[in-house]
Amino acid sequence: MLDTHSQCIQSRLNEISHALIRDQSDMLIFGKEQLQTIIQFPDPKLFNLNLFPNSGKVLYFYRNKSDKKIMAEVYSVDSNLQNLVPEGELGLVRLLKEGIINNALIFPGYDIILANVKLESCTLLAGSFNPIHEGHIALLDTAEHAVRAPLACFELSVANASSSKAEIGENELFDRVDQFKDIQSLLVTRRPYFRDKIAFMQPNSWLVIGADTFKRFFDLQYYESPAQMIEFASLLDKQGVKLIVGPRLSQNILETRDDFLDMVPQFYRPSVLQLEKFRVDKSSTEIREARARQQQKVALSNNKLAETNNNQIEQSPPREI
């Protein structure tokens, strides 16, 4: 016997199955039309209910604010959407790590989470966003307007390309996502490499990157062979994904697309756009370092204050009774 909450979920499965239609692999092509469906829907939070009809799975996402985790109730369901069986609850990081889902598109402002999406005609800016800052926001906004993309999105991978860096945990992911509540949508994946990220992008989409990233994109020292680099460029081209490059300051030198365009295979160069008149010289690393210095100053100040108070107590004459 299902509890009241599970009965409510089962009663709305047909509704969600008609509102957002998935393909044979249970992926959802998500673009401007689907975004409008969510915004205009009477109860947008219904879309936290994710139905995967071909695999017979149902996920109901919610934010556990007390434990600081993004969670999903997991169910199995039959092909008639009648026999709903609870299977437990899992955090978003674990869902990604175990391959239960490929990604999660999060709209913090609407408190909505959609799993297994492919972004249609979008501009995508990937990063760790630790923290997100005005440079990230301005870069994606400028790129979106430059190509008139109907959809703009940030992307965060819980896994890191460097094996020396730990994966983002459930609590840390909750905090990172919380930064976006008044900004933009965020695609959370476990794909640290760009060649894997583009699997979630439909043709006529754009990867937004800074010149500091672009200079490594086609640099042969990051590939096993020239053929592997050509293969990556061919993959981008075949997928219909182009690049938008924003200027970045590096060691007091302004780097742009043109400084590294000769590294790009000839056939792909027309797909690399340079953002003109864009300049924001900020980095998450600098912000973290500044915060660390400030915290260190506060700690030293508190220690000195404590020492002063202790000395005053030791030097004070005993009070007469």
Domain boundaries 117-274, corresponding CATH code: 3.40.50.620
Could you tell me if 167 and 158 are in contact, meaning their C-beta atoms sit under 8 angstroms apart? Answer: yes
Assigned token pair, 58: 């149902």
Show the CA angle centred on residue 235, arms to residues 233 and 240, nearest 5°: 100
Q: Which residues pair with 246 in a beta bridge?
A: 210
Mean pLDDT, residues 292-302 taken together: 59
61 vs 39, residue with greater confidence: 61
pLDDT digits (tens, 9 = 90+) for 148-201: 999 999 999 999 998 888 999 999 999 999 999 888 799 999 999 999 999 999
Show the CA angle centred on residue 291, arms to residues 290 and 294, nearest 5°: 90
> pTM for the complete prediction?
0.87
Delimit the domains of the chain by residue range.
Answer: 4-96, 117-274, 283-315
Cα 187 to Cα 111: distance, rounded to the nearest angstrom = 14
Place of tokens 């994966």: 167
DSSP-derived secondary structure letter, 263: G
Give the count of beta carbons closer than 10 Å to the beta carbon of residue 38.
18
Could you tell me if 13 and 51 are in contact, meaning their C-beta atoms sit under 8 angstroms apart? Answer: yes
Across 106-110, 224-228, 267-271, least confident range: 106-110
Assigned token pair, 180: 């976006």
Assigned token pair, 108: 């913090």
Cα 46 to Cα 112: distance, rounded to the nearest angstrom = 8
Expressed in angstroms, the distance from the first to the final Cα of the chain is 75
Residue 47: what are its φ and ψ, rounded to 5°?
A: -75, 0
